[in-house]
Structure formats: C-alpha cells, structure tokens
Amino acid sequence: MHPTRKAALTATALLATVTLVAGCDSGTATAGSVAAGSGDSAKPGCPGTLARVKQGVKAAEDVDAPWSGPTNGPAVVPDRNIVYIAQTLTNPGVEGVAKGVQEAAGIIGWHVRTINGQGTPAGLKNAFDQALALKPDGIVIGGFDPSSTAEQVARADAARIPLIGWHAVTAPGPSKNPKLFTNITTRVEDVARLSADWIIAQSNGRAGVVLFTDATIPFAKHKSDLIKKELATCSGVTLLSYENIPIPRANSLTIDRVSSLASRFGNRWTYSAAINDLYFGYASSALRAAGKDGAGAPFNIGAGDGAPSAFERINGREFQAATVPEPLSEQGWQIIDEFNRAFAGKPSSGYVAPVHITTTANSGGAPSWDSEGYREAYRKMWDK
C-alpha cells in the first residue's frame, strides 16, 4: 500500500480514538457532524436523497481504488519534442500538470519545454508563437481557452502539430472545434455533483450554505450552477448566499465579503462550496476574526484543482475540510501517453480520471492527490 494510504488509515483510526475519548464533552462541531444552527441533527433533512449521496461520497473518498486507466497502448515513438504552454505558472494546477508532463517525458526519453503565458491574452499569443517557432512534434494547451489563440491553433493544425488540452475546453476527450487530439480533465458534472453531495452527506441533510463563484468565467459559472442545482435536491439544505467574486479580484474582495457573511448569517452558515480552493485561503483571516474555529463551521469544500495550499489547510484543519482535486501529476503522464497514441496514428485512450474527494481523514498528510499505481501502469505499457 502507498505510504500516504497507510497514513490515511492511521489518521482515520486516530480520529476515531479521539472521538471516543472526547465523547459528548467536545464543544466543537466537526465536518462529520451537524453543526450548530443547521437544524435538527436527530432528523435527516432529506432521507430519500441522503442514501444516494452518502453512497457516492463514500466511493469518491476511497484512496485504494484500483487503477482504472489504460493498460494497453502503442510502442513508444522515440525522440519527440513537446512544448507545454502554461496559462500561468502561478496557477498551481497548471504548474502541477507541467511537472507531470516533464516527469513522464523523461521516462521515455522525450524533450519538453515549458513556456509561461503569464495569464494574459498577449502573453498567451506570444507563448504560442514561440512554441510554433520551435516546430515541435506536439503542443499542450495548459489551462487556457484555445479560442483566445485561434490564429495560432489554426497554424498548428496546418502544420499538422497535434494539440492536447488540459482544462482547455469544458468536456474531456477529443474536440473538433477547437481541434484537439484530446482534452484532459475530470467531468465538471461529477465534480459539481460530488461537492454538493459531500455537504448534504456530512450535514445529514441540514446545512446553511454559501457558494462562491466567478460568474465572469462561463466554465466556473456553469460549475457553480450545477452545485446549486444538486444542493436543491435536499429540502433540508438552504442556500444562504450565492457570491460572485471574480478570481483576479478574490484577494481584495473575499475578506470583506466573508466578514459581512459571518456577521449576517452567524451560526446559520455551516457549510461553503467554491469553484476554486483559493477562496478559502483568502477567507481564513476573516473567519478567524469572526471568532470561527479553523476545524469548525463553516466547513468548506473546494470544487477546484486541489492545490498544495488547499491540502495544507485540510491537513492542518484550517478553514477547509475537503477538496475535489484533479490528479495533476497523473494527468501530466496521461498527456504524454495521449501524444504517443497520436504519433502512432492511434485514437486517444478515452480515459477520464474518476472524481475523488480529499478530507483530513483520508489525505494521509499528502500535499496532492493522484490515483494509486498510475506510474507503474504507464511504465509497464511503455516498457520503461
């Protein structure tokens, strides 16, 4: 068993022991209980819904699920050059995938160059121009909308350079417009549903929820709308507020907004969900100033990339209880495998990583999440 899995089991056992010792003397609510002010804890808020969501959440929290990705593929095509265009390397998700691409490419003897798009339209176009000038065998569109570089995408297509996206379009798999050999991402529908279901399950169907989104980004708004829709399937869950905070302004807006929410809703605010973990990093100081306990309500779940900072908050019980992370390194390895299929004239693998929920109980203190055994599976397939 992977060391972090062993640690997770140890942490779970320790948590159970502490709970038994504390008994009813503990005055702090935990994410596995119904927080004060969220309703009648003895009576489920939506019995019919609870059975369904608890089953799904339990499966998503499994850390020892067997590898479900590809096990067969073409022989490695040698001596390939890949360019990874990063939307911005300050985005932990984009950076994490870039590291996975570099690692996997090194295993099979390929060369990778990463170019930072700096997070601006001009920077991305310039980065793409640089990538095309290198005449690579393949280009990764790392975390940005290809329509923002439509001219460069067309030039890559004309030069027959396969493009693989990471979070480039909303759906996983091949794309015709824009033309991508494949796009690597979990399914947003699954991420949104399980984020909401975790709240329903942990609160026993009795929660007062604040939902944070960035309505200026269609993908983000779509995700938060799906979360809102799933929360509505439980009659005992109340959406207290639907907060639109643009990500570029999250640092300046979140603290004041959270302070206002804490004052307005008090103990009725028991859970939060956000389209990206970063909101909770900014919210921490405001919640602390409002007298909230980092390990108590509101219990926060990020439906985002699962950045190391989110894992740090979860492991430290500091104003984040859970995240629905992308398996960043694993997806970097998948990108290399998909390129190899493209170079060999084969279709994409069709693999979409299952959605996982990380909590304090199952993280094992790890700073990220990846499926068990993916490195071994790919190396065996590549005969490396």
Q: What is the Cα–Cα distance from 267 to 216, expressed in whole angstroms? A: 30
Above pLDDT 70, what percent of the chain? 89
- Grade residue 19 by pLDDT with cuts at 50, 70 and 90: very low
Neighbours of 169 (CB within 10 A): 18
User: pTM for the whole thing?
Assistant: 0.82
How buried is 81 (Cβ within 10 angstroms: 0-12 exposed, 13-18 middle, 19+ buried)? middle
114 has pLDDT over 60: yes
279 has pLDDT over 90: yes
Above pLDDT 90, what percent of the chain? 74
For 156-196, write each residue's pLDDT tens digit.
999 999 999 999 998 999 999 999 999 999 999 999 999 99
How buried is 113 (Cβ within 10 angstroms: 0-12 exposed, 13-18 middle, 19+ buried)? middle
SS3 272: strand
CB 275 within 8 A of CB 303: yes
For 322-335, write each residue's pLDDT tens digit.
999 999 999 999 99
40 has pLDDT over 90: no
Q: What is the Cα–Cα distance from 37 to 270, expressed in whole angstroms? A: 8
Question: Residues 173, 176, 181, 183: is their CA dihedral positive or negative?
Answer: negative
- Grade residue 346 by pLDDT with cuts at 50, 70 and 90: very high
Q: Cβ contacts of residue 30 below 8 Å, gap of 6+?
A: 19, 295, 296
Mean of the pLDDT values across residues 122-126? Answer: 96
For the record, the structure tokens of 232 come out as 């509505």
Lowest mean pLDDT: which of 37-46, 201-210, 305-314? Answer: 37-46
Provide the pLDDT for residue 326: 92
- Grade residue 231 by pLDDT with cuts at 50, 70 and 90: very high
Q: What is the DSSP letter of 188?
A: H
Q: What is the Cα–Cα distance from 165 to 335, expressed in whole angstroms? A: 8
- Grade residue 291 by pLDDT with cuts at 50, 70 and 90: very high
Q: What is the Cα–Cα distance from 114 to 335, expressed in whole angstroms? A: 14
- Grade residue 11 by pLDDT with cuts at 50, 70 and 90: very low
Question: Residues 266, 39, 62, 196: is their CA dihedral positive or negative?
Answer: negative
Average pLDDT of the residues of the chain: 89
Q: What is the DSSP letter of 147?
A: G
Q: What is the Cα–Cα distance from 383 to 19, expressed in whole angstroms? A: 48
Mean of the pLDDT values across residues 294-319? Answer: 94
Mean of the pLDDT values across residues 323-349? Answer: 97
Give the neighbor-by-neighbor strand order of the sheet with 163-166. Answer: 111-116, 81-86, 138-142, 163-166, 182-184
Residue 298 preceded by cis peptide, ω within 30: yes
CB 299 within 8 A of CB 35: yes
Provide the pLDDT for residue 7: 44
Place of tokens 């956000």: 274
104 has pLDDT over 80: yes
CB 312 within 8 A of CB 325: no
β-partners of residue 184 are 166
Provide the pLDDT for residue 89: 87
Q: What is the DSSP letter of 66?
A: P
